[in-house]
Structure 1
Amino acid sequence: MGTESKRQQRFAGVLQQDLAELLQREGNSWAPGAFITVTRVRVTPDLAIARVYLSFLNTKTAPEDLKAIRTKTTEIRYKLGSKIKNQVRIVPQLDFFLDDTNEYVEHMDKIFEEISKETRQPD
């Protein structure tokens, strides 16, 4: 997407905060037992599409939980729109993605641990 303008960044911040509040209130009914975090929101230059990156904690079924959230996209967009209707002309289309940064970091940590153990052993 390149660099985002200040306007895009500001709007993405508003969306991130409002979506986080919405998912905190109602996310348990869509993904039972999961703690959902909105890690990042990226917005297109025309502010028409928002890519929302979600992280799921306390669950082993993150892909299934993401599918459940995606099936509720229309409902989430409607509720978001009622909250931000005075701030925007159009409510952006929401695309949800799984943010697997935490899993990637854990995986890399394990690899580095294994490498450091191998180098410490005398030949």
Structure 2
Amino acid sequence: MAKKRFDNDKGPSQRMLKVGELIRRTLADALMQGTVHDPDLNRMNITVGEVRVSPDLRIATAYVLPLGGKDADEAIKALARNTGELRRLVGKVTGLKHTPELRFLPDDTFDRMEETRRLFADENVRRDLDNDEEE
């Protein structure tokens, strides 16, 4: 059975999107400026691609990727070690009644885009697409 991302099938609400983007920018700024007091984390260049927030705004999942896409596990471990400090920063900026619990996962957007490009480059797929355009 497929896992549902949201309570309803309509997708995220405007508020969820706004809070997610605010958290994304806050995390990205903190990581870029080296605000976190962890030398391991500060030596990494980490991109925060997206933050998805649960409907009750209690959980925020950040999809992150180190520059070059290598050592993603190491980056996630470093972020997990500093969750408390990052959460305090997010709490200051968002002003929400409850600061969301932060979770970090690797961002696979680039991998999915590369797989899509590979599929469209496949000769069989191109032939099928060309046949659809002719009809």
- Structure 2: give runs of 5+ residues left out of the alignment: 1-5, 124-135
TM-score, L = length of structure 2:
0.70
Structure 1 gap ranges (5+) = 117-123
Q: Which residue of 2 aligns with 1:57?
A: 67
* Alpha-carbon spacing, 1:34–1:60, altered in 2? closer, same or farther (3 Å): same
- In structure 1, the residue matched to 2:57 is 47
Query: Shift in Å at residue 12 of structure 1?
Result: 0.9
8 A contact 2:60–2:103 mirrored in 1: yes
* Aligned CA distance change for structure 1 residues 52 and 92 (closer, same or farther; 3 Å): same
- Taking the aligned partners of 1:40 and 1:8, their CA distance within structure 2 comes to 12
* Counterpart code for 1:56: P
Q: Which of 74, 92, 97 lines up with 2:84 in the alignment?
A: 74
With the length of structure 1 as denominator, give the TM-score of the two structures: 0.76
Would you say how many aligned residue pairs link Structure 1 and Structure 2?
116
**Aligned-pair Cα RMSD in Å:** 2.7
Q: Deviating runs (4+, > 6 A) in structure 1?
A: none
CA shift digits 1:59-107 (9 cap, x unpaired): 63121121111111112112222333xx311110001110022234345
Are 1:97 and 2:131 an aligned pair?
no
